[in-house]
Chains A and B, each alone.
Chain A
Amino acid sequence: MAEVVEVRPETSRTKTIAFDVSDWPGHRAGQHVDVRLTAEDGYQAERSYSIASATDASRLELTVERLDDGEVSPYLTEELRPGDAIELRGPVGGYFVWNPGAQGNVLLVGGGSGVVPLMAMARQRSAEGSTIPTRMLYSARSWEDVIYRDELAQLANEDGFDVVYTLTRTQPSGWEGYDRRVDRDLLAEVAPAPGALEVAFVCGPTPFVEAVAGALVELGHEPLRIKTERFGPTGG
Chain B
Amino acid sequence: MSELMLDGNAAAGVLHEIFAVEMTTAVGTCANCGAAGEVGAVQLYRGAGLALRCPSCEAVLMKIVTSGRRAWVDLRGLRTLQLDA
Contacts and interface: CB of A to CB of B under 8 A. Distances in A.
Interface of A: 32-34, 46, 48, 89-90, 92-96, 205-207, 210, 227-234
B12 A230 contact: no
A205 B1 CA distance: 12
A234 B13 contact: no
B13 A230 contact: no
Given A94-B22, A95-B8, A232 B40 contact: no
A34 B8 contact: no
B46 A234 contact: yes
Interface string B1-37: 1111111111011001100001011000000000000
B3 A232 contact: yes
B1 A233 contact: no
A38 B73 CA distance: 24
Contacts of B46: 232, 234
Interface residues of B, number: 22
B24 A228 contact: no
Given A93-B40, A95-B38, A231 B8 contact: no
B54 interface: no
Contacts of A46: 13
Contact of A48 (B3, B4, B13, B39): B13
B12 A92 contact: yes
A89 B14 CA distance: 10
Top 7 A-B residue pairs of the complex, sorted by shortest distance between their CB atoms: A95-B40, A34-B13, A95-B24, A92-B12, A94-B25, A94-B22, A93-B12
Given A94-B24, A95-B38, A234 B12 contact: no
19 contacts: A48-B13, A90-B13, A92-B16, A92-B22, A94-B12, A94-B22, A94-B40, A95-B38, A95-B41, A96-B24, A205-B3, A206-B1, A206-B3, A206-B6, A228-B41, A231-B10, A232-B4, A232-B5, A234-B46
